[in-house]
C-alpha cells in the first residue's frame, strides 16, 4: 500500500479492512511504522477510533467494515483517488454475520467512484470454498496464490494433545506451567464463562493474566480498556492471555511460545453446532505462536469421545 501512495497527494488512496478493531489497530501501527519517513497520514476507522474529520483527511484508512460503511453512507469518504483496497482475514468477513454485506457495499462504492479501478487484494491463512464468491466479486480473474492443506502446519510449530477429564483441566494447566520454560502463552477457550473461570484460577495461583473475551457489549469493557489489556500482554507485563476466538486471527505477539486449546474449536452453521471441529479456527489459533520463524508448541486438551473424534479429524484434515 505504501508503495502505491503519493505522499504529496492529500486524498484517500488506500483502504484495508479487518474483522476486529484489535486487528485494524495492529495494521494501522504496522503501516505507520513501515512508513514513518513517508509523511503519510494513516488513521484507524473503527468504534472508538478517529473522528469523522480525521477519516475524511486520511491518505490510508485501516478500519472495520461497520464504521467505514457508516462514513460511506454519510458521504464523508471520497473514493475518487483510491488506488488499493485490501481485505485482511477475508474469510472472516464472509463467516461473521453482516460483515459480508458491509464489505460488498464498500467495495462496490470504491469501484463506482474511483477514477481508476483500484487494485483489490484478499488475504487469509485459510480460504474455505464459501469465500470464493466474495473473492470473485471483489477481485474478478485475480491471481491466486494458495497452499495445500498439508503444507499449512509449520514445522516450527509442534502440536500435541493431552487427554484429561474436564475436572482436571486446571490442574493440568498448572503442571504444564510448572514443567515448561514458557515466555508468553495464550489459552483459547470457547465461552466467556470458561475464560473467566480459567483466568481467575490462574490469577489465584500466582500467574499474571490478561483476560479478553466476547464483544464489547458482552464483556462490558470499553474500547480503551480492551486496548489497555492487549497492550499489557504485548509489552510482557502479563505472561498469560486467556481469550476466546476474538484474538485467534492475525494478532502478532512474537514472544508467544505456547498456545493451549483449553477447548477444541467447534464448527457452527447458522448458530448450531455441527459436531465437527472448526479446522480454520484451529489453524488460526496455532498460528499465534512461532511467529516470524520462531519455534512454538500447541497443546490441545481432549476430554471426551467428541474431542477424540475432533482431534482425529484435525490430524486427517492437515495430514
Span 227-259, pLDDT tens digits: 899 899 989 999 999 999 887 777 788 889 999
The pLDDT of residue 218 = 57
Q: What angle do CA 14, 18, 22 make, to 5 degrees?
A: 115
Domain boundary among 125, 146, 167: 146
User: Do 137 and 164 belong together in one domain?
Assistant: no
Instruction: Read off the pTM.
Output: 0.75
User: Do 132 and 207 belong together in one domain?
Assistant: no
User: Do 126 and 271 belong together in one domain?
Assistant: no
Q: What angle do CA 68, 72, 73 make, to 5 degrees?
A: 120
User: Do 67 and 116 belong together in one domain?
Assistant: yes
Give the mean pLDDT of 10-39.
94
User: Do 125 and 202 belong together in one domain?
Assistant: no
Measured between alpha carbons, how far is 157 from 235 in angstroms, rounded to an integer? 23
Measured between alpha carbons, how far is 84 from 59 in angstroms, rounded to an integer? 11
Q: Is the pLDDT confidence value at 219 over 60?
A: no
The pLDDT of residue 96 = 65
Measured between alpha carbons, how far is 20 from 12 in angstroms, rounded to an integer? 21
* Residue that wins the pLDDT comparison between 136 and 167: 167
The pLDDT of residue 122 = 87
Max CA-CA distance within the chain? 62
CA atoms within 13 A on the CB side of 70: 11
User: Do 156 and 170 belong together in one domain?
Assistant: yes
Number of structural domains (the chain) is: 2
Measured between alpha carbons, how far is 168 from 82 in angstroms, rounded to an integer? 55
CA atoms within 13 A on the CB side of 168: 11
User: Do 228 and 105 belong together in one domain?
Assistant: no
Determine the structural domain holding residue 120 and report its residue range: 14-146
Q: What is the mean pLDDT of the chain?
A: 88
Q: Is the pLDDT confidence value at 217 over 60?
A: no
Q: Residue 123: inside a domain, yes or no? A: yes
Q: Residue 1: inside a domain, yes or no? A: no
**Number of neighbours of residue 297 by Cβ within 10 angstroms:** 20
The pLDDT of residue 268 = 82
3-state SS class at 273: strand
User: Do 130 and 249 belong together in one domain?
Assistant: no
Give the mean pLDDT of 68-88.
94
Give the mean pLDDT of 11-23.
94
User: Do 78 and 170 belong together in one domain?
Assistant: no
User: Do 87 and 178 belong together in one domain?
Assistant: no
* Residue that wins the pLDDT comparison between 60 and 281: 60
Amino acid at each position: 500500500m505504501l508503495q502505491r501512495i503519493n505522499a504529496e497527494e492529500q486524498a484517500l488512496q488506500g483502504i484495508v479492512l479487518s474483522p476486529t478493531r484489535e486487528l485494524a489497530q495492529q495494521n494501522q501501527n504496522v503501516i505507520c511504522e513501515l512508513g514513518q519517513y513517508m509523511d503519510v497520514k494513516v488513521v484507524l476507522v473503527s468504534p472508538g477510533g478517529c473522528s469523522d474529520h480525521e477519516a475524511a483527511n486520511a491518505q490510508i484508512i485501516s478500519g472495520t467494515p461497520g464504521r467505514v460503511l457508516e462514513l460511506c453512507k454519510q458521504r464523508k469518504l471520497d473514493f475518487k483517488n483510491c488506488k488499493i483496497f485490501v481485505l485482511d482475514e477475508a474469510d472472516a468477513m464472509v463467516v461473521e454475520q453482516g460483515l459480508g454485506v458491509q464489505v460488498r457495499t464498500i467495495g462496490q462504492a470504491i469501484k463506482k467512484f474511483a477514477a481508476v479501478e483500484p487494485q483489490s487484494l484478499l488475504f487469509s491463512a485459510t480460504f474455505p470454498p464459501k469465500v470464493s464468491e466474495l473473492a470473485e466479486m471483489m477481485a474478478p480473474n485475480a491471481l491466486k496464490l494458495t497452499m495445500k492443506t498439508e503444507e499449512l502446519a509449520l514445522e516450527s510449530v509442534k502440536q500435541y494433545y493431552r487427554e484429561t477429564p474436564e475436572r482436571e483441566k486446571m490442574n493440568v494447566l498448572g503442571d504444564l506451567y510448572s514443567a515448561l520454560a514458557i515466555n508468553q502463552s495464550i489459552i483459547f477457550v470457547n465461552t466467556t464463562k470458561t475464560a473467566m473461570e480459567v483466568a481467575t484460577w490462574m490469577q489465584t495461583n500466582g500467574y499474571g493474566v490478561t483476560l479478553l473475551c466476547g464483544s464489547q457489549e458482552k464483556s462490558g469493557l470499553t474500547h480503551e480498556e480492551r486496548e489497555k489489556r492487549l497492550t499489557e500482554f504485548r509489552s510482557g507485563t502479563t505472561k498469560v492471555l486467556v481469550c476466546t476466538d476474538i484474538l485467534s486471527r492475525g494478532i502478532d505477539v512474537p514472544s508467544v511460545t505456547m498456545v493451549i486449546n483449553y477447548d477444541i474449536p467447534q464448527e457452527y452453521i447458522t448458530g448450531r453446532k455441527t459436531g465437527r471441529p472448526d479446522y480454520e479456527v484451529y489453524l488460526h489459533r496455532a498460528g499465534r505462536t512461532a511467529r516470524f520463524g520462531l519455534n512454538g508448541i500447541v497443546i490441545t486438551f481432549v476430554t471426551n469421545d467428541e474431542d477424540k473424534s475432533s482431534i482425529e479429524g484435525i490430524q486427517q484434515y492437515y495430514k
